[in-house]
Structure 1
């Protein structure tokens, strides 16, 4: 059979099948995960990739090396038993399969939208004594790799899959991946049931259209009576920020500032469990603003970016690093802000740590605290600290402490962002200036000085009781990648809105009458503009209804008919 005939027979056969059966193997799996890996300790090679599943998945040598080293606790800090943590790596360049964002991902809150060039790894590491092994220890990790920052879900998932794998070997990992390949797509705004090994994880996928305050606590997910065993997750992505910051609570408002303005930060702790949860908690402090700089929940001396991040020949990059190896205490001593986290405790501390100068950190065994010379722009809010300490003394549940802390920082971040959003709205052109016969007007450029003049009478003080140098904080923020990321996204959204308004103006205009006294050049220009609009709408899935698209197509057909046939054929080609 000739190749062309074979393809046509195959496509006809596929067309005849019901839609549900045309989903290819691993399509649903790839909506959630890229692959599952097993990393083992080899006496000759050190950490080595033992297994990648599904088998067709490809990782570059650099990716494999990074995953292998990041899958084991660094510095041999006595992590006997089971240890869970997560990491984030830069993917090798040229990976087209990772770069395209699906439509349902565009509907996620900004902080959950996938980023080109990065992958997350969720690790379950087991170390036990084993005399049958020459080294005397069994050391192995199960790792789930994903481009999605669903930290709460995937941490729970690897905690279910890994023990089964350690007990039953490769068939159990294969069975888990086949379970995941039956999962529904993670559609924003929907509650999904995710079966795994006979149990069901139930979680709601957040949406950009959710009220931001509602995202702080969305644990009221209805149980379905039809499913046998549920484990209802209150969140897809949130980590325990209260436990992460418990030993440094007095400095948490200052840390919010450091994260907001994109300062370099190092989190040092004895285990990757602590560093990964703390780094992830730091990035979430400024929600709903997306943290746009790089961050590594767990970072080792073997990382391919080690030299880039530890060089003393230039200022430290805007990145948050989580490290456990004592070597970093010396290597990163020149960094301006270092957070040392002790072991997490559920008891109220007798006393909190004062700020220390960054240069006073000599070893990883130094006392817990924040080492920095940074002077905060805002006055410290002592009310929130007293409330949390009182909660610790009365043994208030961690979930409640978390909710208090999240709401506090959500309101603080919103107070900071509302004036920016208000100013952005003032840069929009007036709707009456949108003409169907001209290109859509553009957004006026952002003028920091003009914005700062508005802060005095309509700044954060309208919604926040915290006093201080808000203007100075904004000036610092304008130099950060967080501002750049926010501004680019808002520009994109506003331009989309202007395109919609312009399309609607074109739809409602009497274009047939307009072209009566126009020459061919102007008519052809209008046809090209309408075609560009239709193409833009199709490629960007902008919010314009199908009846408007239909009107625009009718306009296009009637205008085309007014032209000579030879010109029509040129425009149709």
Structure 2
């Protein structure tokens, strides 16, 4: 590493590229690097300005002033057109009498569009000590190493060398089951040193995150399901970031549709908006570490205060459920401060199994799998009746005819859905009992229902469009054209071309065979038109 650092970034890249057998440098500079990261940033804390970008390496280094790393403690799920930095940033704090605060504070930040929290945690754990020891030349060499990594193709298991260590990871795909880890071990007998195998690139250690709040996991799950504003006050940015991310992941496979800030400070541009008392807090999960924010944000309806990890009788000490009236400022004790009453009864058997497993020394992955399985069952039990009801809103397939506009979906009537729950609701199959109807009623008013409904309606509209295209492709177009005018034939050609474009851009779930039939229909229809119209529709 020292030799590479002294050699400079260009020679380091050449040297590392030569070590990759059979690998050739991509034509586009930093193409492989950009498949994983946007850039690696160094952020300095200023007492008056807050976080200040000091340096950046990688694909965005030439335009690093436009990369916002402010108040981003960990990566979240990727969203179009935005970047998130992650994960909890390694920070070095050194005494410095020349600084007003008395300390010089600097952080290392990864900026990526990928939600690979576990991988980035491991990566930062390796490169941060090297950087704080060797500074800038180290970052250039690390970026050069990452620029030699293979692309993160879903379904593949990869070996990723960095600073003398090989990380072995499995890139998740849609075929992976949500409750399982999908690592398929590569042969690594010839690798020296042996690889560090990560069980997942994106899944958090939920049990470790939720240890102090196990007794309130279902209540927190409900608060997340309903999109309630929640303030998380933690002892460090790392704990704050991991807790916020764990909360947003506990709804899987339901997409989390609200805003969330793993690490938020008073220097954030939206601080005033969140602190105002003239309107209700927005639907956001906010992670903070500054105790003074308790006083400023104590009007928030739900506040989770987490202290330093403590054990009692060999088990993690659980935070208590407390009323907001007991909320104080700097000496606030750990607890969940809320007036919210959970709709579902606590699953005491799950808590017993988790604590018994911890006492007996069961592996952390096993306890996380148990907790994740419980949360997955809760979410799936809640969503399945909604999915069944939505499926019933689809028109019958026999009502779809080739030469008419496809029928529309029927609207979602909440009262009809709730009436159906009495005979086919989650209370019949799910372990936790309680007021499921009341939970659904509140869910209908949340951003998550709106997000879920919009997504499902869009998917079903695409399905209807695909079924209509299949009906057209299977029809006898020559018979249809016998009594049709040129205008009607041209209109059909234009509509089929539009559908083909949408289908080929993966917006419609249509088989390749149907796409070929649609193209033949287009050619047949154009061939029936006069030469001048053919020239217009098929220019040379």
TM-score (norm 1): 0.83
1:410 is matched with 376
Contact 1:62–1:304 (CA under 8 A) maintained in structure 2: no
Pair 465,224 (structure 1): closer, same or farther in 2 beyond 3 Å: same
Does 2:94 match 1:124? no
Does 2:346 match 1:370? no
2:17 is matched with none
CA distance in 1, matches of 2:155, 2:401: 36
Contact 1:440–1:499 (CA under 8 A) maintained in structure 2: yes
1:197 is matched with 163
Pair 421,141 (structure 1): closer, same or farther in 2 beyond 3 Å: same
Does 2:408 match 1:470? no
1:294 is matched with 259
The partner residue of 1:227 within 179, 184, 191 is: 191
Cα drift, residue 132 of structure 1: 10
Cα drift, residue 386 of structure 1: 1.7
Contact 1:36–1:145 (CA under 8 A) maintained in structure 2: yes
CA distance in 1, matches of 2:142, 2:218: 42
Give the 3-state SS of the residue equivalent to 1:540 in structure 2: coil
Contact 1:127–1:138 (CA under 8 A) maintained in structure 2: yes
Contact 1:87–1:299 (CA under 8 A) maintained in structure 2: no
CA distance in 1, matches of 2:50, 2:318: 40
Pair 179,114 (structure 1): closer, same or farther in 2 beyond 3 Å: farther
Alignment of 1:473-492 (within 5 A): 473-492=439-458
Q: Which runs of 5+ in 2 are unaligned?
A: 1-22
1:376-413 deviations in whole A, cap 9, x for unaligned? 11122211112222223333333222121111111111
2:274 is matched with 309
Cα drift, residue 443 of structure 1: 2.4
Contact 1:333–1:359 (CA under 8 A) maintained in structure 2: no
1:78-105 deviations in whole A, cap 9, x for unaligned? xxxxxxxx346xxxxxxxxxxxxxxxxx
1:327 is matched with 292
Contact 1:436–1:505 (CA under 8 A) maintained in structure 2: yes
Give the 3-state SS of the residue equivalent to 1:344 in structure 2: coil
Pair 336,56 (structure 1): closer, same or farther in 2 beyond 3 Å: closer
2:403 is matched with 437
CA distance in 1, matches of 2:537, 2:277: 60
2:33 is matched with 29
Alignment RMSD: 2.6
Cα drift, residue 138 of structure 1: 4.8
Give the 3-state SS of the residue equivalent to 1:523 in structure 2: helix
CA distance in 2, matches of 1:517, 1:190: 54
CA distance in 1, matches of 2:46, 2:233: 28
CA distance in 2, matches of 1:532, 1:289: 32
How many residues are aligned here? 514
1:218 is matched with 182
Pair 397,479 (structure 1): closer, same or farther in 2 beyond 3 Å: same
2:490 is matched with 524
Give the 3-state SS of the residue equivalent to 2:495 in structure 1: helix
2:213 is matched with 248
CA distance in 1, matches of 2:240, 2:449: 26
Give the 3-state SS of the residue equivalent to 2:41 in structure 1: strand
Does 2:432 match 1:459? no
Does 2:266 match 1:282? no
Alignment of 1:68-79 (within 5 A): 70=71
CA distance in 2, matches of 1:352, 1:224: 42
1:104 is matched with none
1:174-225 deviations in whole A, cap 9, x for unaligned? 11112222222222222222222232212112222323333xx335544433
Cα drift, residue 41 of structure 1: 4.9
CA distance in 2, matches of 1:329, 1:507: 63
Pair 496,336 (structure 1): closer, same or farther in 2 beyond 3 Å: same
1:495-518 deviations in whole A, cap 9, x for unaligned? 222232222222221112210121
1:175 is matched with 141
Q: Which runs of 5+ in 1 are unaligned?
A: 1-18, 72-85, 89-110
Give the 3-state SS of the residue equivalent to 1:139 in structure 2: strand
Cα drift, residue 55 of structure 1: 6.5
CA distance in 2, matches of 1:136, 1:164: 25
Alignment of 1:15-94 (within 5 A): 23-41=27-45, 47-54=51-58, 56-57=60-61, 64=68, 67=70, 70=71, 86-87=73-74
Contact 2:400–2:407 (CA under 8 A) maintained in structure 1: yes
1:16 is matched with none
CA distance in 2, matches of 1:478, 1:459: 16
Pair 364,236 (structure 1): closer, same or farther in 2 beyond 3 Å: farther
Cα drift, residue 336 of structure 1: 0.6
1:95 is matched with none
Contact 2:265–2:288 (CA under 8 A) maintained in structure 1: yes
Contact 2:466–2:509 (CA under 8 A) maintained in structure 1: yes
Contact 1:267–1:275 (CA under 8 A) maintained in structure 2: yes
CA distance in 2, matches of 1:26, 1:414: 41
The partner residue of 2:526 within 560, 563, 567 is: 560
